[in-house]
Amino acid sequence: MFVSEKFERQQILDEIEASDMVDDDDILHENKRVRRIQLLSDLSDMLERDTVTIKQKARADWFTKGDMNSKFFHSKLRWRRLNNGIKGIFINGEWCEDPYQVKIEVRKHFENRFQAQTKLEVNLDGVAFSRIDNVDNEVLCSVFSESEILDVVGQCGSSKSSGFDGYNFHF
């Protein structure tokens, strides 16, 4: 970006700021409002040109310098790949490096580790559950009347949330 472009951008910003200050204190006249809109448009065009220029420079830089995945980068990648691999495991107390056997044993290990339990081992003997009587059951199973719903909604303030989602009645 040239010095004149920086200076021009600063002048536009200063003029926009001045018109904003006038607008805060008093109402802008129509011709000043149109001028402000034109200044904002000019500023937007300048920023768009800068963005295009930066993108073009980055593309040209990439063409000249390339990917920059250097020998160092690839050596680190190779080192990490080698260190993260499973070279072998103990099977029945013996070290095994056969890739096929290692895969089978690793698969068995994770299948056993994450296998779902089929039976529920909860014992509820001796636990006394309280029961509701028939009258309460009838009240809970009955259909809500419109007046009950309006009464409940009317008791909730606009800032109260009706559930876990956090949305209140004002929303």
15-59: pLDDT as tens digits = 888 887 776 666 767 788 888 888 888 888 888 888 888 888 888
For residues 15 and 56, state if they share a domain. yes
For residues 29 and 57, state if they share a domain. yes
Residue 147 in domain: no
Residue 137 in domain: no
Residues 133 and 155: their CA atoms lie apart, in Å, by 28
pLDDT surpassing 80 at residue 141: yes
Residue 123 in domain: no
Over residues 65-112, the pLDDT tens digits come to: 766 677 888 888 889 888 888 888 888 889 998 989 988 998 998 888
Residue 165 in domain: no
For residues 7 and 61, state if they share a domain. yes
pLDDT classification of 3: cutoffs 50, 70, 90: low
Instruction: State the pLDDT at residue 81.
Output: 87
For residues 42 and 96, state if they share a domain. no
For residues 7 and 60, state if they share a domain. yes
What are residue 55's DSSP bridge partners? none
Q: Provide the number of structural domains found in the chain.
A: 2
153 CB contacts (<8 Å, ≥6 apart)? 169
Residue 149 in domain: no
Residue 91 in domain: yes
Residue 154 in domain: no
SS3 at position 5: helix
Is the pTM higher than 0.75? The answer reads no
For residues 7 and 49, state if they share a domain. yes
For residues 43 and 13, state if they share a domain. yes
Q: Which domain holds residue 88?
A: 84-114
For residues 102 and 60, state if they share a domain. no
- Ramachandran assignment for 93, one of left (phi > 0), alpha (psi -120 to 50 degrees), beta (any other): left
Instruction: State the pLDDT at residue 151.
Output: 83
Residue 104 in domain: yes
For residues 43 and 88, state if they share a domain. no
Q: Is 143 exposed, middle or buried (0-12, 13-18, 19+ CB in 10 A)?
A: exposed
